[in-house]
Amino acid sequence: MNSELFINTLYIQLRRNSYILRLNNLLSKRSQKIKEVTLKNLLLITVLACISTFSIAGDKLSAAQLKQKAEAFLNAKNARQQPDTTVDDINNYISLLADKFIDEHIKYNVTITSKDELRKSMIAKMKDKVSFSEINIDQLMYGIDVVFVKYTEHAKVKPAHLDKVIEYTVTNILSLEFDEDGLIKHIRRHHGF
């Protein structure tokens, strides 16, 4: 009887081991396929990430380019606020903007998105009597295709709609975001005090 029990136990053990081996084999094949799919997906993701990184990196403006563009913008802004401002100065300023742009004056809750509207308002401001206007850049901070500018503006102006001359010195902060052509697509003006 002992030998019969031993043989039955051995037989059950062998069947169990056989099932375990089959299961391991099945899992191993599945695991191998999962590993292959995972590796292919990882490779694809890596290649796509590299391609997108190179295309993004190729389009972004350098800090030197952003500095030059910020200076050009502030020079154009200052040129259109002088005693001898011309329509050409206004057109030069507007030429720095993308066709689709947003110009936000945060403090006054004013947003301009039309070059024609902007040109008309700037030409109307030529009626102001400007004694002088001076803008100096205090600080620049750079991001991807954006520059933040802290600048001080000192001016003496008699607005056409007022009876008095206003002289002011104010420090403002603005951000200039650029499109893929290097034109300004978004201006956010945060007026100082």
Structural domain boundaries enclosing 28:
1-59
Same domain (yes/no): 78, 42: no
Same domain (yes/no): 42, 131: no
- C-alpha distances out from residue 139 to 98, 133, 171, Å: 24, 19, 11
Report residue 63 as tokens: 């800090």
Tell me whether residue 147 is exposed, middle or buried, using C-beta atoms within 10 angstroms of its C-beta: 0 to 12, 13 to 18, 19 or more.
Answer: buried
Same domain (yes/no): 43, 89: no
- Beta-strand ranges (E) seen in the chain are 97-105, 110-112, 129-143, 146-158, 166-178, 184-190
Phi-psi domain of 184 (left: phi exceeds 0; alpha: psi -120 through 50; beta: other): beta
Same domain (yes/no): 176, 85: yes
Same domain (yes/no): 35, 67: no
pTM above 0.75, yes or no: no
- Could you read off the pLDDT tens digit of each residue along the chain, which spans 193 residues? 555 655 556 556 656 666 566 656 666 666 666 655 554 544 445 444 444 444 444 579 999 999 999 999 999 999 999 999 999 999 999 999 999 999 999 999 999 999 999 999 999 999 999 999 999 999 999 999 999 999 999 999 999 999 999 999 999 999 999 999 999 999 999 987 6
Tally of structural domains, the chain? 2
* Cβ contact 74:149 at 8 Å: yes
Which CATH number does the domain housing residue 80 bear? 3.10.450.50
Q: Say which residue the tokens 């010195």 belong to.
A: 169
